[in-house]
Structures are given as C-alpha cells and as structure tokens.
Amino acid sequence: MGGGVPFIRQSAPRKTRMTGENYFAPCNFMPEEDSVPAPYDLNPRFNDYAHPERLVSTEWLAEHLDYPGLRILECNEDGLLYDIGHVPGALRLDWRKDLFDPNIRDFINGQHFASLMRHLGIRQNDTIVLYGDKSNWWAAYALWVFSLFGHADVRLLDGGRDAWFLEERPTSFAVRTYPESDYPIVERHDDNRRVYRQDVLAALGSSLIIDARSRDEYVGNTLSPHLSSAVSRRGHIPTAFNIPWNRAVGPDSRFLPRTTLEDIYDGVCSPDDERDVITYCTMGEQASHTWFVLTYLLGCDCAYNYDGSWSEWGTAVRMPIVQGTAPGSVPFPLPLSARH
C-alpha cells in the first residue's frame, strides 16, 4: 500500500440470448411452502477466500435460477438497465427508492425493510443473490445494507451484470412475481458494520482509513460527477490511504485471487493489529465493495463502512481535509464534535 504501512495479512458489445418467456408479461412463480436456503457454490475459484459462501458464479446461478429458496435481485446505478434485459427471475432493487427514507435522509427502518421483503416475496430463510452494473458497486452496497438487518444468507454474483452478459447467458424482460411473504420486523443494527462522521473523526490516528475513490479524487484534482453542487471541497480524510475499489477486480469484473488481493491490501486486517478499518468513498457504494473484499474475501472482522463518505465529509463544517498524495496527519486540535 505504501506510505509506511507495515505488511499485514489476515489468515483465516455482444448479443444476448433471451429466454422463451413472454418477455413483457408478468411471470408468476409459486415456490414451495418451506423456504430452504440454496446450496453453496463449490466453485474451486472461491476456495481460498475467507468466506466463499458469500459468492456465486455465473455457472452456479444459471443452474439454480428456479430454486425455490432463491431470490435474485438486480441493483444498478443505472435504473434503466433492468428494463433492457436481466437475469431470468431477477427482481429490481432500486437503492434510491427502496433502501432510503427521504424524510430522514437515512436508511429505512425495520418495519419498512420487512415491508420491502414481503413485497418482493422474500422470506427470512431465503438465499438472496445480488448483482448489478459497475462491477457490483450497488449490489455490494445493498448486501451491506441487508447485513445491517441481519438477513443470514446474502451473496454476490461474482462479476455481476457484466460477467453474465459477457458470457451471453440467458436474459429476460419478464418481471417475475412471488406471493407476499411474512418477513418479520427486524430492527437495523449499525454497530458492527457502520460508522458515522463523528466516529471517523474520533478514530483519526487510531484506525486505518481506506479511501476507495480514484487517485484524482483522493489527491484533490477532481470531484465525482455523482456529487451535488453543494460539495465543493476536494481532497481526502486525514490519515486515509488510497486503494481504489477497482484494483480488486479484473477486466471481467470478477474478484481477483486472494493472494493478489492480499498484496493489494497489504497492511490491512491483521490478527496482530487491533486497529479498526474504515472504508469510505463518494456515497458509500465503492466503499461497500471494498468492505465486502476485506470482510468476506480476506476475513477481516473489524471493517466498517462510512457510508456518509465524501458527500457528507466534504460539505460538513470544520471537518479537516488533506490534499495531495500523502495521507496526512491527525489535525490538532480536533473539532469540538470529536472531543470527549
């Protein structure tokens, strides 16, 4: 990673084929009454990862499309992609409309999450496979949000939408419907996966902070086009190291082998290092991708996502920033909100 961080390693355009479904008509699928999680993908490509059960391959998904205890969700940055073809049986998950409460500008609560799951026909024991565009940016983000509500079996399609279409696997326009489920209300628990701005501020100097944005954004040369005009400050959070999210994937959007990932994230997540690891980006989506890599592929059990990211930090009054290639140091004195 550079910058003096010690080496630390944690053990432990193609034409697509359409299905024979009636593309524009709803497709009703009646699952079995009992919800049985789908079997794990035993693809040897995943063997070295810390938690291979969190991934499925395109081969596995193609073979389990009609598995009764499986629900497939497509979550994209571009909301129109679903309408021009998707994995057969996949349902649309809109990260803006489905996961956020606009009144409080935060994630939905347990009651709204249960309502969403019931509407999608997802039961508490179902296996959920998420995939999307941008090498699974928003799919990883949705998986992270689902983890806040404790859904036990949520997996990513390795390679996402890119890999599925590149291999010319079956696609459909049909919108499958399921009977409404009885998903229980489970309150959201942020403590073990999420941090807020004041947490990051208080952690400067004691936690390892990873900026998952591009190098130009980190240095302060540019801002993400996704940010509103209200965000005018450029740079990065003091002490943060820059490891862009896309270094973890290959040209086909699939995750790189574990040994390669360990070299990329050299200095992160050691059993001999008690520091927490905090990831951030522009709005939390790229940081969720990095959080997934650290948590499930490298086995880091102390990784947190700062989903407020630069969209919050870059607009907040008195929040310190650093410009340039160096991580920077802890500012002193800290703003009042970080003092105890």
Going edge to edge, which strands form the sheet with 241-242? 241-242, 208-211, 277-280, 303-305
- Looking at 148, 167, 186, the residue that finishes a domain is 167
* 153 lies in some domain: yes
Structure tokens at 112: 């709204």
Cα 189 from Cα 65, distance rounded (Å): 31
For the residues of 217-265, what is the DSSP string, one character each? Answer: HHHTS---TTS-TT----SB-TT-EE--GGGGB-TTSPBPPHHHHHHHT
What is the DSSP code (8-state) at residue 295? I
* 188 lies in some domain: no
Cα 36 from Cα 52, distance rounded (Å): 19
What is the DSSP code (8-state) at residue 60? H
* 28 lies in some domain: no
Contact present, 123 and 114 (Cβ < 8 Å): no
* 244 lies in some domain: yes
Q: Which domain holds residue 253?
A: 197-314
Cis omega (within 30 of 0) on the bond before 333? yes
Query: 49 with 162, same domain?
Result: yes
Query: 146 with 257, same domain?
Result: no
The b/e string for 13-38 (b: 16+ C-beta within 10 A; e otherwise) is eeeeeebeeeeeeebeeebeeebeeb
* 296 lies in some domain: yes
CATH number of the domain at 205, please.
3.40.250.10
Q: How many domains does the chain divide into? A: 2
Element housing 120 (H / E) = helix 110-120
What pLDDT does residue 12 have?
35
Length of the chain (residues): 340
* 136 lies in some domain: yes
Instruction: Output the pTM of the full model.
Output: 0.88
- Looking at 150, 167, 184, the residue that finishes a domain is 167
The SS3 of residue 293 is helix
* 148 lies in some domain: yes
Query: 161 with 51, same domain?
Result: yes
Residues serving a catalytic function are 281
Mean pLDDT by 10 residues, the chain (340 residues): 34 34 35 74 98 99 97 95 98 93 88 98 98 97 97 98 98 96 96 94 96 97 78 93 98 97 88 88 96 97 96 92 96 64
Cα 253 from Cα 257, distance rounded (Å): 12
Bridge pairing between strands 100-101 and 106-107:
antiparallel
Using one digit for the tens of pLDDT, what is the confidence trace for 4-21? Answer: 333 232 333 333 333 333
The residues facing 157 across adjacent strands are: 56
What pLDDT does residue 19 have?
38
Contact present, 72 and 92 (Cβ < 8 Å): no
Query: 123 with 238, same domain?
Result: no
Query: 124 with 205, same domain?
Result: no
Using one digit for the tens of pLDDT, what is the confidence trace for 205-252? Answer: 999 999 999 999 999 998 888 776 668 799 999 999 999 999 999 999
- Taking each helix axis as running N to C, give the angle between helix 137-148 and helix 285-292, from 0 to 180 degrees, rounded to the nearest 10: 70
The SS3 of residue 320 is coil
Using one digit for the tens of pLDDT, what is the confidence trace for 217-229? Answer: 999 998 888 776 6
- Furthest C-alpha separation in the chain: 65
